[in-house]
Amino acid sequence: MKKTLITGGAGYIGSHAAKALSSLGREVVVLDSLVAGHRDFLKWGEFEQGDLADSAFLKGVFSRHDIGEVLHFAAFIAVGESVEKPDMYYGNNVRNTLNLLDAMLEADVKRLVFSSTAAVYGEPVTDVIAEDHPLSPLSPYAWSKRMIEQMLADYDHAYGLKHVCLRYFNAAGADPDGEIGERHQPETHLIPLILHAALGLRDNITIFGTDYPTPDGTCLRDYIHVTDLANAHVKALEYLESGGASRAFNLGNGNGFSVREIIDVAQEVSGKDIPVTESERRPGDSPSLVSSAKAAHGVLGWNPQFGNVRDIVRTAWDWHQKDLA
Ligand code: UDP
């Protein structure tokens, strides 16, 4: 059986995908520079340490392993940082993806599942976003993902490289078995930062913007459990393997939660009082990102198991208590 290459497989979502694939008996090869990934998340498959900027290394990976398809997670992911340092984002995300695609073509590997983002929609004009909603990114991070989606469309047209772009809404939670979870350095995401505050590792949680056109003035996001995301990658691979056409799928639960609501849920789950401060909007943030994931349900047969936001926060809380102990 051919192997699945997972770029960024020592990271948060990539490691959960490595677990999901391995548990189905698939052979995986994790490629990670360990700049942002974690050695202790390397629990499944073989490991190749290196950077996508290194074309010779990439060529070696494809020659050492019989790769059938690629799950491409490796990327920089912080919206705010991308506004400050666009060169980092266009270099690491766009240019290095081009290296990956060229190495794939050279090795005649023609299937790729790409980690895209709901941020490609920008400021949506509908309450719930379907895949045909116009794309209008608000940050270099979101633009880098948008540009890669275009590159993939062009590579399919020219070279027959088939892809699925999975547009994640807000990945959250942790492996229910507690083997892996979310650990970013520095952490910028809402749920882990709230839980760090609950653990006393920071003084408070800051709300970025309270004057958005939303019911309580704070941004609405659609939180999706990382294990559900991982399982969607399995479905996307099966879709491509059965000859599915290149396209994008949203991955979310279809429910918008405000920043304040998430803080309330985290207080309830952790049983801790979490001090809150309010500040200006964070540049590059969309007021509301809520999915329609009907296509992923209908076409991929994907069914999330952790649709309840309390379950999502609870698995994150279990992980953070252990990881930060
Ligand atoms: N957010 C916040 N305080 C923080 C971190 C995030 O108010 O310390 C808000 C952020 O402005 C956004 C939401 O929480 O509206 C989710 O942000 P996150 O960075 O977790 O994910 P993103 O939506 O940027 O992918």
Read off the pLDDT of residues 61-112 as tens digits, 9 standing for 90 and up: 999 999 999 999 999 999 889 999 999 999 999 999 999 999 999 999 999 9
- Two tokens, residue 66: 């019989």
Please, is 1 exposed, middle or buried when counting C-beta atoms within 10 Å of its C-beta (0-12, 13-18, 19+)?
Answer: exposed
Residue with tokens 């990271």: 11
Report pLDDT for 130.
98
Distance linking the first and last C-alpha atoms of the chain: 40
What is the mean pLDDT of the segment spanning 135-141?
95
Confidence of residue 179 (pLDDT cuts 50, 70, 90): very high
CATH number of 190-221+254-323: 3.90.25.10
- Two tokens, residue 279: 């500040």
What is the mean pLDDT of the segment spanning 31-49?
98
Residue located nearest, by CA, to atom 25 of ligand 1: 170
Confidence of residue 27 (pLDDT cuts 50, 70, 90): very high
| Percent of the residues in the chain that have a pLDDT greater than 70, as a whole number | 100
Q: Give residue 143's identity as a one-letter amino acid code.
A: W
Residues whose CB is less than 8 angstroms from the CB of residue 51 and which lie 6 or more positions away in sequence, other chains included:
33, 35, 57, 96
| Contact (Cβ atoms closer than 8 angstroms) between residue 204 and residue 275 | yes
Please give the Cα distance from 52 to 314 (Å, whole number): 35
Ligand 1, pocket-test mutation among 82, 195, 208, 274, most atoms within 8 A of CB:
208
12, 89, 90, 141: which is the annotated catalytic residue? 141
Confidence of residue 285 (pLDDT cuts 50, 70, 90): confident
> Which residues have any ligand 1 atom within 6 Å of their CB?
79, 170, 188-190, 193, 205-208, 219, 221, 259, 282, 285
Please give the Cα distance from 260 to 37 (Å, whole number): 30
ipTM over 0.90: yes
List b or e across 79-116, with b for residues whose CB sees 16 or more CB atoms inside 10 angstroms: bebbbeeeebbbebbbebbebbbebbeebebbbbbbbb
Cα of 322 to ligand 1 centre, how many Å? 23
| Contact (Cβ atoms closer than 8 angstroms) between residue 16 and residue 226 | yes
User: CA 120, 225, 24: angle at the middle one, nearest 5?
Assistant: 105
Tally of residues, the chain: 325
As a three-state string, the secondary structure of 160-222 is CCEEEEEEECEEECCCCCCCCCCCCCCCCCHHHHHHHHHCCCCCCEEEECCCCCCCCCCCEEC
Ligand 1, pocket-test mutation among 182, 218, 221, 290, most atoms within 8 A of CB:
221
- Two tokens, residue 141: 């991070």
What is the mean pLDDT of the segment spanning 230-259?
98
Report pLDDT for 289.
94
As beta bridge partners, residue 251 has: 168
Cα of 279 to ligand 1 centre, how many Å? 12
- Known catalytic membership, residue 141: yes
* Residue 325: pLDDT over 90: no
H helix and E strand count, the chain: 11, 14
* Residue 227: pLDDT over 90: yes
Closest C-alpha among 196, 207, 205, 192 to residue 281: 207
The class (CATH top level) of 3-172+224-251 is: alpha beta
Cα of 258 to ligand 1 centre, how many Å? 10
- Two tokens, residue 32: 């990670």
Q: Name the residue ranges covered by the structural domains of the chain.
A: 3-172+224-251, 190-221+254-323
